[in-house]
Amino acid sequence: MPVEPGKIRNVAVVGHRSTGKTSLVEAMLFQAGAINRLGTIEAGSTTGDWDDDEHNRQMSLAASLCHVEWQGRKINLIDTPGDPGFQGDMIAALRVVEGALVTVSAVMGVEVQTSRAWQRAEQYDLSRVVVVNMLDRERADFFRTLESLRDQLSPRCVAVHLPIGAEHELTGVVDLLHMKAYTSPEGEREAAPSEIPGEFESQVAEYREKLLDSVVETDEALMERYLDGQELSDEEVAHALKDAVTRGEIFPVACAVATKNLGTTALLDLLVEGVPSPAKKHIDLGVGDDGTAAFVFKTIADPFAGRINVLRVISGEVKSDSTLANHRSHSKERVGQLLALQGKEHTQQEAFGAGDIGAVAKLKDTTTGDLLLDAEREVETPELGFPEPVMSFAVTPKAKGDEEKVGTALRRLSEEDPTLVIRRDPQTGEQLLSGLSQIHVEVAVDRVRSRFGAEVELHQPRVPYLETIRKESRAQGRYKKQTGGRGQFGDAVIVLEPLEGHQGYEFADEIVGGVIPQSFRPAVDKGIQEAMQHGELAGAPVQGLRVRLIDGSYHSVDSSEMAFKIAGSLAFKQAYEQADPVLLEPIMDVEVTVPDESVGAVNGDLNSRRGRLQGMEPKGGMTTIKAEVPMSEILTYSQSLTSLTGGRGDYHMSFARYEEVPSHIAQKIIAEAKQDKEEAAV
């Protein structure tokens, strides 16, 4: 029987890398009895991180779906990667849940990806619970972290747990909602709660009062009773808290040491009591509640099981051995066996009801972002809003003849991760693999080898330069060939003019009378366009000009389309040399988010890359720098930014426009292009 919506809690576990998200999910699985031992990241034995690449790098590279039973509720936990290079899975997970569990390190406080996850959760109007993890580490400070949460995320962050002790002397946590204490189980299962130690009574009373003040402010009836001095029961406070969390009026802050399984019971209680069920909070996927609808938010390319689609049931019921329609492809999909995932393990399931999350294997034509319906109808497919890739590499197979194998592998991986884009650059002819960071692309290459048995090499991509002209010029192209019998003759006079903004191409036929017959004039245009494919400066395509065909002559027997095509090409090359040709380079809009203390160094580095600063926006200890930078200068930016910011900065970029290359740099590029051409001719 499917679980009813009121008994489901869907939670995405999000936050900056190395804040213990996977360890936290592991602790919840262990405490709830879903697994028998507490795995660790170091040993590569956690349920959430099961891929070899994750073990080698000791970090999550993809979202992992797990579930626990707690207080008669099913909690679906989506453990998401914290590295910005793999944020696609975090974004997709936040789209299909009612609640986000935001993990924060008690040492580091709010970091870049914490803020990003928070903003995305806010955009989707999700209920949020924060957990301050790693409280047993040196320099860990719950109260300093609580202040940074209130300053940088929201003043509505309110402590619902307190630590007993600090750093290495941490011995337990207090649940302020139920006024109970849990002592550290040191990696065993947490025992029943105990009394709060006497020496912490005054601190507990102070924070319990702050919690009650925050809760009753959201409920007028409770507020009146509270101000009258009436005692409020734990159940009433918990109920009011849940309503406030559902409405986004309170963000409860919990305590944990995931690796020791401390605070897990109180956290599971908080997820059940604080995060709304699908029955209570409607997430807007724009599909409505008619019939059956399920949204695929993740795809796993398993080399053995084939494609596994992970989906959220929006309405109705998805049953095994049924048929659904793919809204994008208009094809019918036979739903075979449904799977309940527990990391890489799965159990077969008969059905998933509305609000639940599960998986289905071996659908023919369904990928991430697709909508499955019981019948074709007019609905909007929900948008996942993935970021654009910022880093591209040219990829070539190491072994000759592996092109097809590599192409198939990369296509399969981009189905699994839509933020990984594979395309062929029409200008340079290179196959480009683009991702959200260097590590993102490197992991894809590792997987091509480990999963699909093909080796590839990465190279810096060639910059797609263009060429254009700066002044008007005129030239004649005359092609005459006599080879005995019928000859070839074409003669065209053209004027080149620069177009504003260095964009586009126009051909104006200004022939008066019949000096060139109408039937031959398109051939002149064709010859010019072919010559424009490779400019005379650096062999780059030419754009941003108007060609006026003003005069010419023909021969009644020897003229042909081919002759006029060659004449057009000759005229263009001659006119182009006289039109003050220049090289254009792509300029990128770059947005860099860095800690405040790194702003000076990052700005200096951007200036050294010929960057032009467009503005800065400081917010909560981080500053977003906006700049325009030539593409050629930012191809290797990722490593520099990591070293300048200690790994705390990230960036994204998009194409802005083409601009003239400064002459001293253009000369170098032109010389390199000539050398490449000479070497290729040898």
pLDDT tens-place string over residues 2-60: 999 999 999 999 999 899 999 999 999 999 999 998 888 777 777 876 666 666 777 77
Mean pLDDT lowest among 79-83, 237-241, 412-416 = 412-416
CATH class assigned to 467-579: alpha beta
Tell me the C-alpha distance between 55 and 44, whole Å: 5
Q: Which of the four pLDDT bands, split at 50, 70 and 90, describes residue 306?
A: confident
Whole-number pLDDT of residue 599: 95
CA distance 565 to 214: 79
Q: Which residue has the tokens 């795995």?
A: 39
Confidence of residue 259 (pLDDT cuts 50, 70, 90): very high
User: Going along 21-126, which residue ranges are E strands?
Assistant: 64-70, 73-79, 99-105
Per-residue pLDDT tens digits for 396-449:
888 887 888 888 888 888 888 889 999 887 777 788 898 887 788 888 898 888
Nearest to 485 by CA among 558, 556, 553, 566: 558
Report how far residue 202's alpha carbon sits from residue 439's, in angstroms, rounded to the nearest whole number.
48
Q: What is the pLDDT of residues 515-542, one digit of tens each?
A: 999 999 999 999 999 999 999 999 899 9
Distance of CA 184 to the CA centre of its chain: 37
pTM of the model: 0.80
Residues 6+ apart with CB under 8 A from 404: none
Measured distance CA(134)–CA(105) in Å, rounded: 6
Mean pLDDT of 83-100: 92
pLDDT of residue 260: 95
Give the per-residue pLDDT at 303.
64
Residue 414 DSSP label: H
Detail the DSSP E strand segments found in 90-233: 99-105, 127-133, 157-159, 161-164, 172-175, 180-183
Whole-number pLDDT of residue 229: 86
Is the CB of residue 193 less than 8 Å from the CB of residue 265?
A: yes
Coil, helix or strand at residue 582: strand
Distances (CA, A) of 212 to 162, 164, 186, 502: 15, 20, 31, 64
Give the pair of three-digit tokens for residue 115: 């803020």
Q: What do you get for the CA distance between the two ends of the chain, in Å?
A: 73
Rounded-to-integer distance, Cα 426 and Cα 438, Å: 23
Q: Is the pLDDT of residue 487 over 70?
A: yes
What dotted CATH number matches 293-373?
Answer: 2.40.30.10
**In the chain, % of residues over pLDDT 90:** 61
- Please list the residues that pair with 630 across neighbouring strands: 587
Q: Which of 345, 361, 260 lies closest to 65 in space, CA to CA?
A: 345
- Evaluate whether the domain defined by 5-274 bears CATH number 1.20.120.350: no
Identify the pLDDT of residue 389: 80
DSSP assignments along 101-125, one per residue? EEEEETTTBS-HHHHHHHHHHHHTT
The DSSP result for 311-339, as a single string, is EEEEESEEESSEEEEETTT--EEEE--EE
Q: Of 3.30.420.40, 3.30.230.30, 3.50.50.60, 3.30.70.870, which CATH number belongs to 391-459?
A: 3.30.70.870
Tens digit of each residue's pLDDT (9 = 90 or more) over 375-395: 888 888 888 888 878 778 889
Residue 489, C-beta contacts closer than 8 angstroms, at least 6 positions apart: 479, 480, 481, 554, 555, 558, 559, 563
Average pLDDT in the 638-652 region?
83
Question: Strands (DSSP E) along 316-400, which ranges?
Answer: 317-319, 322-326, 332-335, 338-342, 345-349, 351-353, 357-361, 371-373, 391-397
- State the chain's maximal CA–CA distance in angstroms: 115
Which alpha helices (H) appear in 495-594, and where do they start and end? 521-531, 561-578
Task: State both tokens at 147.
Answer: 């202040």
**Tell me: the pLDDT tens digits for 167-204?**
999 999 999 999 999 999 998 999 999 999 989 999 99
Q: What is the domain partition of the chain in residue ranges?
A: 5-274, 293-373, 391-459, 467-579, 584-664
- φ, ψ of residue 566 in degrees (nearest 5): -65, -40
Q: For 119-124, what is the mean pLDDT?
A: 93
Decide: helix, strand or coil at residue 60.
coil
Answer yes or no: same fold for 391-459 and 584-664: yes
Write the single-letter amino acid at 637: Y
Mean pLDDT for the chain?
Answer: 90
pLDDT of the residue at 535: 92
CATH topology of domain 584-664: Alpha-Beta Plaits (3.30.70)
